[in-house]
A = this chain, B = another copy of it.
């Protein structure tokens, strides 16, 4: 071996756990929109669409479909509704699919138009475990209308094992094609996420795809995404610069660099980061200790978000006391796995 053949010690050559052809779903406008009530300009969303298309991302989740009357259109932006007129101003038919999320209870199935009449071709139904029957009805309605379907069962870390079994059984029996493990609270460490991915795969039919939607409260979103890819998930979610409520999401730019897939080009995303950096200055997503605390406590981040709005990252010990004083936490108060007797 000549000196020029010498290679470095990092064990990628033999040990890579990256996989190519993992589907990448960008949720910047939909989930990042939780930071600014979906009030992105058409110009900004259009340039984000162009960047995502050029980067080789598979699916752009561009917002929510919401039935009229659920939100005051004065207080939320157009991407909470995704009217076709708005979509047509920013997107065009392309290799990249456009997805919209629907919340169980915030849309009537009859308000969905046929996929053939929409720029949207993917519907993601967001539900909580107990509402799974209603979610399946919505998923079936969407499939009948020609959409590819995803189901995001939120806040799985709040469910009992029996509740998880129950919604997975319902999804197994449904026609839904893709199911995400959703770490709504940023509560999961990689070994826990791996366990849930195996559980989802075990319960679902082999042709149903499992993926992840992860939050960064404990700085685990990207690491958990890597763990999920190692576990063989079929799709992963990211957002540009990690944009998202509170601590945010898995940063798309880190994910694309990691995947190192010839289908991808991270440069169009890097070229957008300047504008997202300006947005972050204004909207202030990203790591703060209150998010770490709610993540660790397996709680919704709403209290942490409110706290950071008023106190930034300050007086954190008082926040800790407030959240833990009534909790009667055992020493190891993290959610426990019940032996599945």
A149-165, CB < 8 A from B? 156-164
- Contacts A219-B219, A223-B219, A296-B257: A316 and B273 contacting too (C-beta < 8 A)? yes
Bound Cα distance from A20 to B198, whole angstroms: 27
Bound Cα distance from A293 to B164, whole angstroms: 39
In the complex, which of the residues A9, A251, A260, A298 has the most CB atoms of chain B within 10 Å of its own CB atom?
Answer: A9
Interface string of A282-326 (1 = CB under 8 A from B): 000011110011001010000000000000111111011100000
Cβ contact of A10, chosen from B14, B218, B334, cutoff 8 A: B334
Interface string of A1-42 (1 = CB under 8 A from B): 100001111111111110000000000000000000000000
A99 at the B interface (CB under 8 A): no
Contact A289 B190 (CB under 8 A): no
Contact A335 B254 (CB under 8 A): no
- Contacts A219-B254, A254-B219, A270-B317: A338 and B13 contacting too (C-beta < 8 A)? yes
Contact A9 B163 (CB under 8 A): yes
Bound Cα distance from A7 to B335, whole angstroms: 7
A259-287, CB < 8 A from B? 260, 262, 266-267, 270-271, 273-274, 277, 286-287
Contact B8 A160 (CB under 8 A): yes
Nearest Cβ distance between residue A166 and chain B, in whole angstroms?
Answer: 11
- Contacts A274-B315, A313-B273, A339-B14: A222 and B219 contacting too (C-beta < 8 A)? yes
A128 at the B interface (CB under 8 A): no
A75 at the B interface (CB under 8 A): no
- Contacts A219-B222, A251-B219, A316-B273: A12 and B241 contacting too (C-beta < 8 A)? no
Contact A292 B196 (CB under 8 A): no
A253 at the B interface (CB under 8 A): yes
Nearest Cβ distance between residue A131 and chain B, in whole angstroms?
Answer: 17
Bound Cα distance from A317 to B219, whole angstroms: 24
Contacts of A9 in B (CB 8 A): 156-157, 159-161, 163-164, 196, 335, 337-338
Contact B190 A223 (CB under 8 A): yes
Nearest Cβ distance between residue A70 and chain B, in whole angstroms?
Answer: 30
- Contacts A270-B320, A289-B241, A337-B7: A314 and B222 contacting too (C-beta < 8 A)? no
In the complex, which of the residues A162, A230, A288, A338 has the most CB atoms of chain B within 10 Å of its own CB atom?
Answer: A338
Cβ contact of A274, chosen from B8, B313, B332, cutoff 8 A: B313
Considering the complex, give the chain B residue whose CB is closest to the CB of A277. B313
Cross-chain pairs A/B with CB under 8 angstroms, 16 sampled: A6-B338, A7-B160, A8-B159, A9-B159, A10-B335, A11-B337, A12-B332, A17-B189, A189-B226, A190-B227, A220-B223, A260-B332, A267-B321, A270-B289, A270-B320, A277-B288
